[in-house]
């Protein structure tokens, strides 16, 4: 899995606030309100413990602090444990934590100790970024959506789009992965290199670890791009040329989705 860097998180707090405003403009739901809608859950004063984990590549600067900002920004009660790893887990439980947030290099989870619910960041990220597109007012009647990147984030997004009755077009550089997804889900294969079938979209989802994965041919004027992928998959030049509105934030949107998944 591509790991976050401190640079990825440097502007996270502004990005979360700006994306929440954009999501509200696009969907008439705040991010918090959209999570309540899609999960049909709500917070009830849960105490949320964030445990720094030193495994693998270790602590990522400001990762825990970014989670704490997200928790507090949405009016919830949280703290970062003084201890890391197992000692941190013990501290969290002894301090009465209801929900644990913790991440190593392979998984980032939310676990509700009271109701047993557990959530995975990649699944919850794919779901919330897809639901933002599905709830976009301007494109409610256009059911076509392009999904670029069919990995651990993109695949839950495909499942969400199908649940929301979208016409899902999929692309991935890994053609075997495309074939797997097309054989397992009622989706359409989209090949940007096949000029015989050019198609552009008002709604584009991207979840790859590469830049410039969204080419000009798939864009319409004022297309909406919802992309958890890091780095950003569309160039600044194309964003400006086509008046693209883009939902992109490194950690907080997915984290709030996880929390609503375990309330």
Ligand X SMILES: NCCC[C@@H](N)C(=O)NCCCC[C@H](N)C(=O)O
Which secondary structure element, helix H or strand E, spans residue 193, and what is its range? none
160 contacts ligand NAI (rule: CB under 6 A)? no
Strand order in the sheet with 99-103: 77-80, 47-51, 99-103, 108-112, 118-120
60 contacts ligand X (rule: CB under 6 A)? yes
103 binds, among ligand X, ligand NAI, none (CB under 5 to 8 A by kind): ligand X
Using alpha carbons, list the distances in angstroms from residue 55 to 148, 161, 228.
31, 35, 24
Cβ atoms of 204 and 223 within 8 Å: the answer is yes
User: Of the ranges 1-9, 28-36, 137-145, 232-240, which one interacts with ligand X (CB under 6 A)?
Assistant: 1-9
104 binds, among ligand NAI, ligand X, none (CB under 5 to 8 A by kind): ligand X
Task: Tell which positions 193-232 bind ligand NAI, by CB under 6 A.
Answer: 207-210, 213, 228-230
Cβ atoms of 185 and 162 within 8 Å: the answer is yes
59 contacts ligand X (rule: CB under 6 A)? yes
Mask of contacts with ligand X, 7-46, x by CB under 6 A?
----------------------------------------
Residue whose token pair is 């047993």: 116
Q: How many CB atoms lie within 10 A of CB 76?
A: 18
Shortest distance (Å) from residue 105 CB to ligand X:
5
Shortest distance (Å) from residue 225 CB to ligand X:
17
Residues with Cβ within 8 Å of 45's Cβ and at least 6 positions away in sequence, in order, are: 77
Using alpha carbons, list the distances in angstroms from residue 255 to 64, 73, 140, 212.
11, 12, 26, 25
Could you give the angle at the alpha carbon of 230 between the alpha carbons of 49 and 119, nearest 5°?
Answer: 35
104 contacts ligand X (rule: CB under 6 A)? yes
Shortest distance (Å) from residue 95 CB to ligand X:
18
82 contacts ligand X (rule: CB under 6 A)? no
154 contacts ligand NAI (rule: CB under 6 A)? yes
Contact positions toward ligand NAI, by CB under 6 A?
1-2, 121-122, 125, 148-154, 171-174, 177, 207-210, 213, 228-230, 250-251, 253-254
């Amino acid at each position: 899995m591509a790991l976050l860097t401190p640079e990825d998180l440097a502007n996270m707090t502004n990005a979360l606030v700006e994306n929440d405003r954009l999501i509200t403009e696009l969907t008439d739901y705040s991010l918090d309100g959209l999570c309540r809608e899609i999960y049909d859950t709500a917070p009830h004063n849960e105490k949320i413990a964030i445990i720094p984990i030193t495994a693998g590549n270790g602590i990522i600067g400001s990762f825990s602090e970014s989670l704490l900002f997200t928790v507090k920004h949405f009016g919830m009660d949280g703290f970062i444990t003084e201890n890391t790893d197992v000692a941190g887990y013990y501290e969290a439980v002894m301090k009465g934590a209801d929900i644990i947030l913790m991440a190593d290099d392979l998984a980032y989870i939310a676990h509700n100790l009271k109701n047993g619910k557990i959530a995975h960041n990649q699944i919850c990220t794919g779901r919330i970024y897809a639901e933002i597109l599905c709830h976009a007012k301007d494109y409610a009647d256009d059911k076509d959506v392009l999904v670029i990147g069919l990995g651990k984030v993109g695949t839950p997004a495909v499942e969400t789009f199908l649940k929301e009755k979208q016409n899902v077009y999929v692309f991935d550089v890994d053609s075997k992965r495309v074939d797997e997804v097309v054989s397992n889900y009622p989706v359409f294969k989209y090949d940007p290199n096949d000029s015989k079938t050019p198609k552009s979209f008002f709604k584009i989802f991207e979840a790859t670890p590469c830049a410039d994965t969204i080419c000009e041919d798939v864009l319409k004027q004022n297309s909406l791009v919802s992309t958890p992928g890091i780095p950003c998959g569309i160039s600044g030049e194309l964003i400006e040329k086509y008046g693209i509105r883009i939902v992109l934030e490194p950690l907080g949107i997915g984290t709030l989705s996880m929390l609503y998944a375990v309330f």
